[in-house]
Amino acid sequence: MKRIKHKKNKLKIFIIIISIITILSLLGIGGYFYYDKVILEKISPIKLSLIGNENITIEFGDTYTDEGAKASFRDKDISKSIKVTNNINYEKIGTYKITYTISTKKKSKDKKRIINIVDTVKPEIKLKGNSVVTVYVGEEYVDPGFTSIDNYDGDITDKVISTNNINKEQTGTYEVTYKVSDSSGNEYETKRSVKYVDPFKPLPSLNAKATSIAVLNYHFFYDPKKGEGGGGSNFISVQDFEEELQYLKDNNYKTLTMDEFRRWMYGEIDLPARSVLITVDDGAQGTGKHNGNKLIPLLEKYEAHATLFLITGWWNIGNYSSPYLDIESHSHDLHHENVCSGVSRGAKILCISDEEVLEDLRRSIAVTGSTNAFCYPFYVYNQHTIELVQEAGFKLGFVGGDYKATRSSNKYKIPRYHIYKGTSLARFNNMIA
């Protein structure tokens, strides 16, 4: 009995030992997996790094070409699994992020790149008119105007601040300063010179012969005393126009017909030094009996001759009948701008076919009955346009320029003085003197 009991005890001990060994073995295997899945990841993390700089600054209008990132896990390249997201808006300055994310089953890691879109480009101010303006003492300086464009903000003309040190009662050269700042704080500055000169040049001798003649250029007429609006700078009050006609009469100036001026230009006749050619463009407000009738009554009152360059396809020539008003061509229907690209003011006359231009000019001549003179719409022309005007039979062509015509002037580029609203009598004097 004792021996049987002893054997049973041995068996129990054996079973216990075997059980302990089995449990220890199982624990060993589990420990290995725990080590592999948890501990190993702690000592072998995901590696993620950016290619290129972490902080990038680019100018507004440019774009950033992403250099990317690289990633590895347990020495294995897993860069292809990187997910990239960004919130960049290239239309707006600001700070943006590109996020690079890499993940395994149990771990994830990300890196960020900062993209700064900035605007360091200065805006521009473009001056209208000349960079040097001459004004007569006592006259108010009227700024010809300006525009300002910024690469980010667009049109910021209304943000331009102009200052000047002008003393209109004293001769000298003064400066007008124009400054503008965009929303990014970029500043731009430019200047215009204003020369104040003594008014009223002495007039030519009454007995002298003309070696140069001023051609004056008007557009539209209005009467502010009747509550009429003057529109833009091309509108002349009847009071100013009458003052100028009175000045011409008081100083014994001969107001020329177009035929007289043409014959003088071609050397067929001589004219007194105190001669002037008055021209009026278009045929709109105040020039005809149908649209205010300001021009003709004053010409007849002062017995002053003038020439109307009429757009013959727009208004009936019968509205301008007067022995003191010659009618010449301002085209039949070529007075249109923004029609063509790549040419001055997009003027129609510069881009349509030769046949169309010639047909228009011939229709205009049929209305006026004259080939004495042609006035280029908007003062624009090129050498080919001049050749077409010559081919149509015109003997003179008129433009702008603000200086006197002489017999040596190009007969198809006759210069004229542009009369603006508010032109003083002093300035008028210096044009014709």
Give the model confidence (pLDDT) of 266-286 as tens digits. 999 999 999 999 999 999 999
Q: Residue ranges per domain, the chain?
A: 47-118, 124-196, 199-432
Angle at 327 between CA 326 and CA 329, to 5 degrees: 140
* 116 Cβ neighbours under 8 A, 6+ residues apart: 55, 56, 57, 58, 94, 95, 96
Res 40: pLDDT: 45
199-432 has the same fold as 124-196: no
Residue from 115, 72, 81, 87 nearest 101 by CA: 81
| Alpha helices per DSSP H over 102-221 | none
State the architecture of 47-118 in CATH terms: Sandwich (2.60)
Q: Which two tokens stand for residue 179?
A: 């400054």
Average pLDDT, the chain: 91
Res 412: pLDDT: 98
Asked if 254 contacts 305 with a C-beta cutoff of 8 angstroms, the reply is no
* 0.85 exceeded by pTM: no
Pick the CATH number of 124-196 from 3.40.720.10, 3.40.190.10, 2.60.40.10, 2.80.10.50: 2.60.40.10
Res 16: pLDDT: 63
- Quickly name the fold that domain 199-432 has: TIM Barrel (3.20.20)
Asked if 298 contacts 245 with a C-beta cutoff of 8 angstroms, the reply is yes
Give the model confidence (pLDDT) of 363-421 as tens digits. 999 999 999 999 999 999 999 999 999 999 999 999 999 999 999 999 999 999 999 99
Give the model confidence (pLDDT) of 311-321 as tens digits. 999 999 999 99
In percent, the amount of the chain with pLDDT more than 90 equals 82
Res 104: pLDDT: 81
pLDDT band at 184 (very low <50, low <70, confident <90, very high): very high
Q: How far apart are alpha carbons 233 and 120 in whole angstroms?
A: 37
Q: How far apart are alpha carbons 82 and 62 in whole angstroms?
A: 25
b vs e for 141-164, b when ≥16 Cβ sit within 10 Å of the residue's Cβ? eeeeebebebbbbeebeeebeeee
Give the model confidence (pLDDT) of 219-245 as tens digits. 999 999 999 988 889 999 999 999 999
Q: Which two tokens stand for residue 37?
A: 């899945």
Res 29: pLDDT: 42
pLDDT band at 181 (very low <50, low <70, confident <90, very high): very high
Q: Is the pLDDT of residue 15 over 70?
A: no
